[in-house]
Chains A and B, each alone.
Chain A
Amino acid sequence: MKTLKIILVALIFAGAVHAKEIKLLNVSYDPTRELYQEYNTAFAKYWKAKTGDDVVVDQSHGGSGKQALSVINGLEADVVTLALASDVNAIVDKTHELPADWQKKLPDNSAPYTSTIVFLVRKGNPKGIHDWNDLLKPGVSIVTPNPKTSGGARWAYLAAYAYALETSGHDDAKARDFVKQIYKKVPVLDSGARGSTVTFAQRGVGDVLLAWENEAHLAIKEFGADKFDIVTPSLSILAEPTVAVVDKVAKKHGTTEAARAYLNYLYSDEGQEIAAKNFYRPRNQTIAEKYAANFSRLKLVTIDAEFGGWTKAQKTHFGDGGVFDQIYQP
């Protein structure tokens, strides 16, 4: 018994000696603050149990495009969890700090959860907004961030565009005009989704917020169900926020193993459950069914099917001189 105690004490001591603190920087987009706050705690517990090491994850949030630019300009992210693949691609193109085939490193094209764009309206929906075409009603003022800097805004823009294509028999000119009319009704363009939520929910600007599904739920949770309603349009877009290890930075920091595990754990049951609880649509079907009440059923188009993938969509719509630049006059 005494020997066993000595061994146990020695093991505990050895564990204490060898335990190290690992720091990760997760550069993410605007609405994921709450998701990763909860997830980081869960992962730290998991990693401690698995390896004995303490892991501390620092978070950085902002418009997805702006965040990607920060990484390009030297922000040393171990992992990026951005709103769309094209922002990660921009990091690949400009820094080569992760491989071109980064999306193949994790399941589901490195998108462990999905989301979509819905409408957040004022309680009782006084302007009668039920679908995209209602946004063009006289007197309706729309709040959405700037697609140049916000990933969510790009998804919202493409969702509107997809709706217009669908309802116009895929007439691109009509779709372009439809989106142009929408942006004419946007009085303030914030740089990120969280800023737009502040504009709409806290500053009382506008009649409808084109919001990430999770951001809409969060606004209701934070400001009260008596303030806002969520309206699900007939059609929206399947938004696939993507995650990736920034290999060269992680290697430099000596955090590669922890960084990979951090992203892999997003696909675990616990990771998927945390995503669902934060109103992100989980990939795991069992968990998706468990939280089905959180998510409205609607037709979701994909970026690949409707716009030929992110590379093409980015260049056509959001690149310098692209469609957005042509239709939007501040």
Chain B
Amino acid sequence: MVRKIKNRNMKLNRWLFLTLLGVPFAHPALAADGDADITTLKQQIDDLDQKVRVLERQRELDQDAATNALKTQPRFKLDSSGFTLSSADTNFVISLHGLIQFDSRSFFDVPTAGVRPGNFLLRKARPILTGTVFHDFDFNFTPEFGGGSPSIYDAYINYHYNPALQLEVGKFKSLVGLEALQSDTWLFFNERSLVNNLVPNRDLGLQLHGNLFDGVASYAAAVLGGTPDQVSPSNTDPDNNVAFAGRLFFQPFKKSDTEALQGFGIGVGGSYQNDEKSAANLSSGYKTDGQQTFFSYTTGVVADGRHWRISPQGYYYYGPFGLLGEYAISDQKVSSAAVNDDLKNTSWEISAGWVLTGESDSYNGITPKNPFDLRKGQWGAWQVVGRYAELDEDEDALADGLVAAGSASKARAWSAGLNWYLNRNIRANVSYSHTEFSDIGGAGGSSHASVTDRAENTLFTRIQLAF
């Protein structure tokens, strides 16, 4: 449009120029007519000039309006982190994430009267809804549809005044175990180690937490409902007592110039609770890597008073290398009709990984440099992993007749595996786990003899989608 008007202006100008040249030679009457024409033409040019200016200005204003409108329009983002919708000022954010894990477990050397679980399972199926309202209030709602019956895993509201001062209320991961706090998405193996048997899973309550000095230190202090080892409670606190949990973790060299030290972290988590006399406050049993129960207390044994846990823990990541270790003590008073005991159960593990394709490992996962794409000849990231873990139940438990028939008071497990990160969202892995049992005995309750009468040898596979 503008070009057309400019062309027309040029034609008019040429005509005007020729006309002006001819004016001195024209007849006076013709000259008068010419003057009128020139005036008209000038007027037309002025009008056209104004139209062009108006159009140009209007275009400017339209562009400004479009730019301003963009500033106030909600933003939608879709990438490997999931779907995110946020208000223009980011005070309101809602994100949809998800986790699907489809596993197989193949048990070798199954006894004749085989009781090993089936091969395939939908281990986890979680839509994860997170977000922020009014800038400072975050939330997380994570139901679990995998495994058994549907349940709510996480449901909390977190007020973050700043990174150093946050208050979280609801149902969330407890604070004791390092591997327990790591995202399911980025574990070295399909299942957490034996240590996970001695730390709480989720709990209900509130925690004050934060990161200090740009994440060099972090702290958390919680008042919780209290939960038995390895248990994620239902949506209600089972008794009237409260538990206290805390955690301190340091990455002292996070800001250091020495790259080899930046990925070092060390800390301690712990909890204290005073359990009411109830079987519900006692662990329902300890599980192998293959998720078979190899130890439980016999019928009539109940939690009875003080229960504390402590877990020194640490990790080290440098380039493709990753190392994670933790030790846990779960000291709990129990009683039966015949005895009162203070049982100190311990467990530890060390696990390590090496990314064969060179990507950097971290507590928060691996990002393949060359996501899987056959057309481009890209194969994602590959990682080999290994782990050794032990769990020792207090020997008094067996000696005092507190354990169910066939329970093993000691378990030692090693595992090795290969993880294939096709991209940030898809992962496939295969691993083999060998668990040996000792100090087997006990009477009454559900017998675990079919699990503990020989070593457990299991081949795991998994296809995982996480976004």
Binding site for B on A (CB under 8 A): 74, 141, 187-188, 190-191, 195, 199, 203-206
Q: Which of A74, A188, A206 contacts B61 (CB 8 A)?
A: A188
Contact B54 A205 (CB under 8 A): yes
Contact B57 A199 (CB under 8 A): yes
Contact A187 B61 (CB under 8 A): no
Contacts of B61 in A (CB 8 A): 188, 190-191, 195
A187 (CB) vs chain B CBs: closest residue: B54
| Complex CA distance for A74 and B134, rounded to whole angstroms | 11
Q: Is B53 in the interface zone, CB < 8 Å from A?
A: yes
Contacts of B57 in A (CB 8 A): 188, 199, 203, 205
14 contacts between A and B (CB under 8 A): A74-B89, A74-B91, A187-B50, A187-B58, A188-B58, A188-B61, A190-B61, A191-B61, A195-B61, A203-B56, A205-B50, A205-B54, A205-B57, A206-B50
| Complex CA distance for A195 and B53, rounded to whole angstroms | 15
| Complex CA distance for A205 and B55, rounded to whole angstroms | 10
Contacts of A187 in B (CB 8 A): 50, 54, 58
| Complex CA distance for A203 and B64, rounded to whole angstroms | 15
How many of chain B's residues have a CB under 8 angstroms from any CB in A?
10
| Residues 49-104 of B contacting A (Cβ, < 8 Å) | 50, 53-54, 56-58, 60-61, 89, 91
B65 (CB) vs chain A CBs: closest residue: A191
Minimum Cβ distance to chain A for residue B366 (Å)? 40
Q: Which of B53, B60, B91 contacts A204 (CB 8 A)?
A: B53
Contact B56 A141 (CB under 8 A): no
| Complex CA distance for A199 and B58, rounded to whole angstroms | 9
Contacts of A199 in B (CB 8 A): 57
Q: Which of B54, B56, B89 has the most chain A CB atoms inside 10 A of its CB? A: B54
A141 (CB) vs chain B CBs: closest residue: B50
B72 (CB) vs chain A CBs: closest residue: A73
Minimum Cβ distance to chain B for residue A199 (Å)? 5
Contacts of B50 in A (CB 8 A): 141, 187, 205-206
| Complex CA distance for A206 and B53, rounded to whole angstroms | 9
Minimum Cβ distance to chain A for residue B408 (Å)? 61
Q: Which of A195, A199, A205 has the most chain B CB atoms inside 10 A of its CB? A: A205
B56 (CB) vs chain A CBs: closest residue: A203
| Complex CA distance for A187 and B89, rounded to whole angstroms | 33
| Complex CA distance for A206 and B54, rounded to whole angstroms | 8
Chain B 315-342 interface mask (CB, 8 Å, partner A; 1/0): 0000000000000000000000000000
| Complex CA distance for A11 and B53, rounded to whole angstroms | 63
Minimum Cβ distance to chain A for residue B52 (Å)? 10
| Complex CA distance for A122 and B194, rounded to whole angstroms | 87
Contacts of B58 in A (CB 8 A): 187-188
| Complex CA distance for A205 and B50, rounded to whole angstroms | 6
B60 (CB) vs chain A CBs: closest residue: A203
Minimum Cβ distance to chain B for residue A121 (Å)? 15
Q: Which of A188, A191, A206 has the most chain B CB atoms inside 10 A of its CB? A: A188
Minimum Cβ distance to chain B for residue A74 (Å)? 8
Contacts of A204 in B (CB 8 A): 53
Minimum Cβ distance to chain B for residue A311 (Å)? 28
Minimum Cβ distance to chain A for residue B160 (Å)? 18
Contacts of A188 in B (CB 8 A): 54, 57-58, 61
Contacts of A191 in B (CB 8 A): 61
| Complex CA distance for A74 and B60, rounded to whole angstroms | 28
Contacts of B56 in A (CB 8 A): 203
Q: Which of B50, B53, B57 has the most chain A CB atoms inside 10 A of its CB? A: B57
Chain B 38-58 interface mask (CB, 8 Å, partner A; 1/0): 000000000000100110111
B46 (CB) vs chain A CBs: closest residue: A139
Minimum Cβ distance to chain A for residue B287 (Å)? 51
Minimum Cβ distance to chain A for residue B153 (Å)? 34
| Complex CA distance for A204 and B51, rounded to whole angstroms | 11
| Complex CA distance for A195 and B50, rounded to whole angstroms | 17
Minimum Cβ distance to chain B for residue A264 (Å)? 33
Contacts of A74 in B (CB 8 A): 89, 91
Minimum Cβ distance to chain B for residue A63 (Å)? 11
Minimum Cβ distance to chain A for residue B50 (Å)? 6
Minimum Cβ distance to chain B for residue A124 (Å)? 15
* A-B contacts besides A205-B50, A205-B53, A206-B50, 7 pairs, CB < 8 Å: A74-B91, A141-B50, A188-B54, A188-B58, A191-B61, A204-B53, A205-B54
Contacts of A206 in B (CB 8 A): 50
Across the A-B interface, the 10 shortest Cβ-Cβ residue pairs: A187-B54, A203-B57, A205-B53, A188-B57, A199-B57, A204-B53, A205-B57, A205-B54, A203-B53, A188-B58
Minimum Cβ distance to chain B for residue A60 (Å)? 14
Contacts of B89 in A (CB 8 A): 74
Chain B 373-387 interface mask (CB, 8 Å, partner A; 1/0): 000000000000000
| Complex CA distance for A188 and B54, rounded to whole angstroms | 7
| Residues 400-444 of B contacting A (Cβ, < 8 Å) | none
| Complex CA distance for A191 and B58, rounded to whole angstroms | 12
Contacts of A203 in B (CB 8 A): 53, 56-57, 60
| Complex CA distance for A235 and B198, rounded to whole angstroms | 87
Contacts of B54 in A (CB 8 A): 187-188, 205
| Complex CA distance for A69 and B56, rounded to whole angstroms | 28
B53 (CB) vs chain A CBs: closest residue: A205
| Complex CA distance for A330 and B166, rounded to whole angstroms | 51
| Complex CA distance for A203 and B50, rounded to whole angstroms | 10
Minimum Cβ distance to chain B for residue A27 (Å)? 16
Minimum Cβ distance to chain B for residue A227 (Å)? 15
| Complex CA distance for A188 and B56, rounded to whole angstroms | 10
Minimum Cβ distance to chain B for residue A208 (Å)? 13
Minimum Cβ distance to chain B for residue A252 (Å)? 14
Contacts of B60 in A (CB 8 A): 203
B134 (CB) vs chain A CBs: closest residue: A74
| Residues 220-276 of B contacting A (Cβ, < 8 Å) | none
Minimum Cβ distance to chain A for residue B426 (Å)? 41
Minimum Cβ distance to chain A for residue B207 (Å)? 27
Minimum Cβ distance to chain A for residue B75 (Å)? 17
Minimum Cβ distance to chain B for residue A77 (Å)? 16
| Complex CA distance for A190 and B89, rounded to whole angstroms | 25
| Complex CA distance for A190 and B61, rounded to whole angstroms | 7
